[in-house]
Structure 1
Amino acid sequence: MNFPIIHTNFWDILIAIPVIIILTQLIKIYFKIPKNFVPLIALILGLLISIFISHRYNLVAGLFMGWFYGYASVGNYAALKTAFIAYRNK
């Protein structure tokens, strides 16, 4: 079985993840989305950005990288929030 060759750009990650974090927070604030659904929204945004912008000519690569974009943004947000709370409680 041949696996797809996935070319990703450092700038995709540098731009996509902060954009997903910001959009997810704006959606959460303006539409009063419960916190349980925030990772799902981040995943959907990551998939949309990856499929339609970053890897628009390769669906498998778009799905694969979109998954990473979405969950990387969730992980980064959780790490930033934890670090900020720890800093404030210090």
Structure 2
Amino acid sequence: MDFPTIHTNFWDAVIAIPVIMILTQLMKVLLHIPKKFVPTVVLVLGLLFSIFISHRNHLVAGIFMGWFYGYAAIGNYAALKTAIVAFRKEK
């Protein structure tokens, strides 16, 4: 079995992750998603972005990179929230 060659570029990640974070925040506000489902929503958005936009010609590559996009968005949100909370406590 041959593994697929996955071509991604810097702009996929620079665009995909902020877009996923923004869409997640909008969905939280507009659809009132319970907190326990937010990571799942982020992961699904990452998969959808990757499968249908970034890697639309190769399903395996889309799924593989979608996991990275989703989890990168989750990690960025957690880091940003931690930094903001720490900054507020310093004042």
TM range (shorter): over 0.9
Q: Percent identity?
A: 71
Shift of 1:2: 2.1
1:7-51 Cα offsets, whole Å, 9 max, x none, are 001000000000000000100111111111111000010000000
- The AA in structure 2 aligned to 1:84 is I
2:53 aligns with: 53
How many residues are treated as equivalent by the alignment? Answer: 90
Q: Deviations over 1:53-86 (max 9, x none)?
A: 0000000000000011011000000000001100
- After the TM superposition, list the runs of 4 or more consecutive aligned residues in structure 1 that deviate by more than 6 angstroms: none
Partner Cα distance (1:56, 1:2) in 2: 19
- For 1:34, the equivalent position in structure 2 comes to 34
CA distance in 2, matches of 1:36, 1:9: 32
Q: Secondary structure at the match of 1:40?
A: helix
CA distance in 2, matches of 1:37, 1:75: 16
**1:12 alignment counterpart:** 12
2:2 aligns with 2
> Residue in 1 aligned with 2:71?
71
Partners of 1:27 and 1:86 lie apart in 2 by: 26
CA distance in structure 2 between the aligned counterparts of 1:25 and 1:35, rounded to whole angstroms: 11
TM-score (structure 1 length as normaliser): 0.97
Unpaired stretches in structure 1, ≥5 consecutive residues: none
1:3, CA displacement in angstroms?
1.4
Normalising to structure 2: TM-score of the pair? 0.96
